């Protein structure tokens, strides 16, 4: 075990897989010589060479399209999109090609690609370096979509993603790279080395795709969150003294409804939290699923805490960000209803 | 209103519309054999002229001339003729099946069979062909079963794609024929990626990427050209310029000031323009490109100049946008007739043998159609079980899909119970 930041854990996952499996290649903008703008591929090209850790032209559609061709050939490409906000030129290749190739060819072809991308705000990235587009991917049948919330999961889930025979979208909340950020942006950064989930095995292990994890057991209400919002939800529970059960959804698709339903049936109240914009966000899917399965157990309307339906602002990002106060207010509403 | 021409230029349309005389005066056709064949290791900068000329082997008399002649054996020429005729007969049969309602849609390749058939002759097992929807000639020339192709078109119980895809979206790993996509041009950059993987793994197989001239306007083509220029992988990039993208003349995609091959020179790629209706030119130029690829010399772009003799698809009516006799006026002729004339000129063919071959090809296609239709058509209920639509969405069935499949099963059972009740209630 080694104390790792989340970007170091992500890097470790790729290093382990590059070493274990000659079919794994890593590609993306600035991932080779430079090691990535968030250092997630630092040193990998020096170790594995420029045919396995490959600098790519600035053309996300080309990067993903070429990766699909590599996947068809038998490789397992791990693509880095420099920011999730840059993924849109690749959407046709992801939606029409990677996601559907196995189905449309009845299994003749498939593309086992993993597409990593830093997401979320909190670094003064404005509207082009802060987005959380997970709902766009969740809406596409054929894709697996993952959002880890700590270094241990990030490494284990990324290895599982690389080993998956399906295309996997792997969203890395960039504000979590350096520590378990809980939304208190005015407080000193807590490093992962001071957090138990920052202890990461050095070698190969997986965290299964499609399983949620209860981060904090509780009886008052169930919080469904993923990525950065897991830590915000925990902070809100601590600040309010409300005994919230915080479920880290981890994998958006496939969704672990069993864990979610078990918790909501027990607590009878539910708050859904995400950083992305509200309308048709993944929270809507969570709310719909909860009411379908748990309607008769609910004692209050399911609350939704999200970013506003506006482009992520630069100077006012903490007024956009659904921080602990906004989350705490939703807890209280859910309990008072 | 001032009745004056606007000061700015605008989109260049086709030279002829319905009712006009066909006009191909813009197409410069150099004599066959007049274009030199450089060594495959020539620097790209030394062969820029190959992108603006037209490599041709078969001359107007049916003789094979010049350095691009691949010197095929008579048997190979006859086999190529057979493949092209079989493709034409297959197209005719499937077109008529669509007219009879046995399927929803069809795409013919009439007039441009030489491109896919000629490339199939250079293709080697282990290579990968990334086609458009108009490359059925490749599968036929490679000996892929006609019955299987027809079952796909008819979406019947032996459709290898289990009714999931529109007709002509074939896919076969064994045949080296990548899954046809209805989203145009996506395969072009995928072919480059496949070739990059070949370079990474150190093999000598070749990827073939193909796109129509209309879809060259898609970003994927420019991504493909960029990645081909940057990584220099073993790929042959084909632009099949058949002049028409549904109703849009080639100038709508390319502007008309440069050839499509010349786009490649701007990327620093070895780029050629060749007569796509000349099977010998197709084989000769493809061999040159493949030789470069297998030798590690990198990618080649080829624009194949041809003409879409048929409608775009069964949903299209070309009489609304181009002269009805335009194909007859096409200066590069009919690839089938040109190869037939060549074989006759060689003394390897005559009218009787041609008639016999036509009859044989028609009989083969008819027999295949009879067998394929015995497994059902779109008109009947003999499709893959609807529950199979949940297979292959993911490598393994997700829990949510299992629930949805159960729901569909219940619907299907209720429907069939309803039909049973109706039958029992009937007098």
Q: Is residue B1 scored above 70 in pLDDT?
A: no
Q: Is residue B5 scored above 90 in pLDDT?
A: no
Same domain, A115 and A140: yes
Pick the closest to residue B160 from A103, A106, A102, A72 (CA basis): A106
Q: Is residue B275 scored above 60 in pLDDT?
A: yes
Same domain, A111 and A239: no
Same domain, A326 and A223: yes
Over residues A86-143, the pLDDT tens digits come to 999 999 999 999 999 999 999 999 999 999 999 999 999 999 999 999 999 999 999 9
Over residues B234-269, the pLDDT tens digits come to 999 999 999 999 999 999 999 989 999 999 999 999
- Tens-digit pLDDT profile for chain A (337 aa)? 999 999 999 999 999 999 999 999 999 999 999 999 999 999 999 999 999 999 999 999 999 999 999 999 999 999 999 999 999 999 999 999 999 999 999 999 999 999 999 999 999 999 999 999 999 999 999 999 999 999 999 999 999 999 999 999 999 999 999 999 999 999 999 999 999 999 999 999 999 999 999 999 999 999 999 999 999 999 999 999 999 999 999 999 999 999 999 999 999 999 999 999 999 999 999 999 999 999 999 999 999 999 999 999 999 999 999 999 999 999 999 999 8
DSSP B309-346: -S-SSTT--GGGTS-TTHHHH-TT--HHHHHHHHHHHT
Q: Is residue A165 part of a domain?
A: yes
Q: Is residue B2 scored above 70 in pLDDT?
A: no
Beta strands per DSSP E along chain A: 2-3, 24-28, 53-55, 76-80, 114-119, 144-146, 168-173, 199-200, 213-216, 221-225, 244-248, 251-253, 270-273, 303-305
Mutation pick from B174, B198, B394, B407 vs chain A, by most beta carbons of A within 10 Å, is B394
Last residue of a domain, one of A146, A176, A200: A200
Q: Is residue B427 scored above 80 in pLDDT?
A: no
Judge: A66–B161 Cβ closer than 8 Å, yes or no.
no
Model pLDDT, residue A125: 96
Q: Are strands B300-305 and B270-275 parallel, antiparallel or unpaired?
A: parallel
Output b/e per residue, B360-386; b: 16+ Cβ within 10 A. Answer: ebbeebeebbeebbebbbbeeebbbee
Q: Is residue A292 part of a domain?
A: yes
Over residues B315-363, the pLDDT tens digits come to 999 999 999 999 999 999 999 999 999 999 999 999 999 999 999 999 9
A61 contacts in chain B (CB < 8 Å)? 189, 219-220, 223
B197 contacts in chain A (CB < 8 Å)? 69-70, 73-75
Per the DSSP assignment, residues forming a β-bridge with A24 are A76
Last residue of a domain, one of A167, A200, A233: A200
Over residues B170-219, the pLDDT tens digits come to 999 999 999 999 999 999 999 999 999 999 999 999 999 999 999 999 99
Residue B304 φ then ψ, to 5°: -100, 115
C-alpha to C-alpha distance for A106 and B392, rounded to whole angstroms: 6
Q: Is residue A207 part of a domain?
A: no
Same domain, A143 and A183: yes
Q: In chain B, what are the domain boundaries?
A: 44-373, 386-425
Q: Is residue A208 part of a domain?
A: no
Last residue of a domain, one of A168, A200, A232: A200
Same domain, A10 and A88: yes
C-alpha to C-alpha distance for A40 and B206, rounded to whole angstroms: 33
CATH code of the region B44-373: 3.40.50.970
Judge: A69–B190 Cβ closer than 8 Å, yes or no.
yes
Model pLDDT, residue B377: 97
Q: Is residue A205 part of a domain?
A: no
**How many angstroms from the chain centroid is the CA of residue B420?**
47
Q: Is residue B87 scored above 90 in pLDDT?
A: yes
Judge: A144–B186 Cβ closer than 8 Å, yes or no.
no
Dihedral angle, C-alpha A33, A38, A43, A46, nearest 10 °: -20
Give the CATH number for residue A236.
3.40.50.920
Q: Is residue A136 part of a domain?
A: yes
Same domain, A12 and A117: yes
Judge: A73–B128 Cβ closer than 8 Å, yes or no.
yes
Is residue A113 within 8 Å of A69, Cβ to Cβ? no
Cα distances (angstroms) measured from residue B93 to each of A156, A163, B88: 54, 45, 9
C-alpha to C-alpha distance for B414 and B409, rounded to whole angstroms: 9
DSSP A249: -
Helix (H, G, I), strand (E, B) or coil at B241: strand
For chain A, the domain total comes to 2
The set of residues, in sequence order, having a beta carbon less than 8 Å from that of A293 and lying 6+ positions away, is A257, A261, A264
Same domain, A191 and A223: no
Q: Which residue has the tokens 């062909």?
A: B129
Mutation pick from A21, A65, A212, A288 vs chain B, by most beta carbons of B within 10 Å, is A65
Over residues A46-74, the pLDDT tens digits come to 999 999 999 999 999 999 999 999 999 99
Same domain, A193 and A217: no
Output b/e per residue, B282-310; b: 16+ Cβ within 10 A. Answer: bbbbbbbbbbbbbeebbbbbbbbbbbbbb
Which domain does A283 fall in, by range? 213-336
Per the DSSP assignment, residues forming a β-bridge with B248 are B245
Q: How many C-beta atoms lie closer than 10 Å to residue A22's C-beta?
A: 13
Identify the sign of the CA torsion A299, A284, A117, B179.
positive
Give the CATH number for residue A101.
3.40.50.970
Is residue A248 within 8 Å of A273, Cβ to Cβ? no
Q: Are strands A53-55 and A76-80 parallel, antiparallel or unpaired?
A: unpaired
Is residue B189 within 8 Å of A63, Cβ to Cβ? no
**Total beta-carbon pairs less than 8 A apart between chain A and chain B:** 141
């Amino acid at each position: 075990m080694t104390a790792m930041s989340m970007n170091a854990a992500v890097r470790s996952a790729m290093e382990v897989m590059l070493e274990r499996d000659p079919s794994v290649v890593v590609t993306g903008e600035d991932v080779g010589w430079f090691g990535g703008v968030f250092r997630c591929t630092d040193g990998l090209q020096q170790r594995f060479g420029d045919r396995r850790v490959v600098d790519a032209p600035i053309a996300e559609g080309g990067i993903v399209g070429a990766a699909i061709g590599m996947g068809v050939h038998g490789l397992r490409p791990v693509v880095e999109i420099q920011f999730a906000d840059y993924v849109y030129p690749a959407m046709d290749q992801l939606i029409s090609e990677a996601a559907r190739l196995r189905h449309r060819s009845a299994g003749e072809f498939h593309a086992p690609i993993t597409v990593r991308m830093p997401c979320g705000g909190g670094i003064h990235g404005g509207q082009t370096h802060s987005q959380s587009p997970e709902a766009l991917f969740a809406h596409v049948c054929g894709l697996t979509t993952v959002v880890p919330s700590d270094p241990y999961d990030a490494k284990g889930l990324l290895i599982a993603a690389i080993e998956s025979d399906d295309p996997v979208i792997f969203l890395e909340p960039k504000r979590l790279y350096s520590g378990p950020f809980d939304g208190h942006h005015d407080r000193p950064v807590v490093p992962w080395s001071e957090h138990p989930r920052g202890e990461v095995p050095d070698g190969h292990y997986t965290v299964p795709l499609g399983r949620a994890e209860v981060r904090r057991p509780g009886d008052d209400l169930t919080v469904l969150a993923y990525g950065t919002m897991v830590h915000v939800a925990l902070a809100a529970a601590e600040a309010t003294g409300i005994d919230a059960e915080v479920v880290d959804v981890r994998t958006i698709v496939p969704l672990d409804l069993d864990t979610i339903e078990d918790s909501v049936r027990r607590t009878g109240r539910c708050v859904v939290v995400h950083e992305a914009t509200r309308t048709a966000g993944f929270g809507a899917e969570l709310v719909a699923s909860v009411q379908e399965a748990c309607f008769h157990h609910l004692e209050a309307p399911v609350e939704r805490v999200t970013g506003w339906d506006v482009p992520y602002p630069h100077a006012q990002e903490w007024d956009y960000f659904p921080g602990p106060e906004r989350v705490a207010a939703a807890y209280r509403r859910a309990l008072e209803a | 209103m001032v009745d004056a021409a606007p000061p700015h230029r605008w989109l260049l349309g086709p030279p002829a519309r319905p009712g006009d005389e066909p006009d191909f005066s813009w197409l410069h056709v150099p004599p066959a054999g007049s274009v030199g064949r450089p060594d495959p290791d020539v620097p790209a900068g030394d062969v820029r002229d190959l992108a603006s000329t037209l490599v041709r082997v078969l001359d107007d008399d049916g003789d094979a001339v010049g350095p691009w002649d691949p010197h095929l054996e008579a048997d190979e020429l006859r086999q190529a003729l057979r493949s092209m005729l079989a493709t034409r007969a297959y197209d005719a049969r499937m077109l008529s099946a669509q007219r009879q309602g046995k399927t929803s849609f069809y795409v013919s390749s009439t007039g441009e069979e030489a491109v896919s058939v000629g490339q199939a002759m250079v293709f080697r097992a282990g290579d990968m062909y990334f086609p458009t929807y108009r490359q059925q000639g490749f599968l036929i020339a490679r000996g892929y079963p006609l019955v299987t192709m027809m079952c796909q078109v008819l979406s019947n119980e032996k459709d290898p794609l289990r009714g999931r895809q529109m007709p002509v979206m074939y896919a076969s790993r064994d045949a080296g024929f990548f899954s046809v996509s209805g989203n145009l041009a996506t395969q072009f950059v995928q072919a480059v990626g496949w070739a990059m993987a070949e370079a990474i793994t150190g093999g000598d197989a070749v990827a073939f990427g193909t796109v129509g001239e209309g879809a060259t306007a898609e970003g994927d083509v420019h991504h493909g050209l960029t990645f081909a220029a940057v990584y220099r992988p073993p790929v042959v990039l084909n632009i099949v310029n058949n002049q028409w993208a549904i109703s849009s003349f080639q100038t709508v995609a390319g502007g008309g000031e440069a050839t499509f091959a010349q786009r490649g020179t701007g990327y620093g790629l070895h780029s050629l323009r060749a007569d796509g209706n000349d099977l010998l030119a197709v084989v000769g130029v493809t061999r040159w490109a493949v030789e470069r690829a297998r030798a590690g010399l990198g990618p080649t772009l080829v624009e194949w100049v041809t003409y879409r003799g048929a409608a775009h698809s069964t949903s299209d009516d070309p009489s609304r946008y181009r002269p009805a006799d335009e194909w007859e006026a096409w200066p590069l002729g009919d690839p089938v007739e040109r190869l037939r004339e060549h074989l006759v000129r060689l003394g390897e063919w005559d009218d009787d043998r041609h008639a016999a071959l036509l009859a044989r090809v028609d009989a083969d296609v008819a027999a295949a159609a009879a067998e394929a239709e015995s497994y059902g058509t779109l008109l009947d209920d003999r499709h893959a079980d609807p529950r199979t639509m949940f297979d292959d969405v993911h490598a393994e069935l997700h829990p949510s899909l299992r629930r949805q499949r159960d729901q569909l099963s219940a619907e299907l059972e209720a429907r069939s119970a309803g039909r049973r009740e109706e039958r029992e209630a009937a007098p």
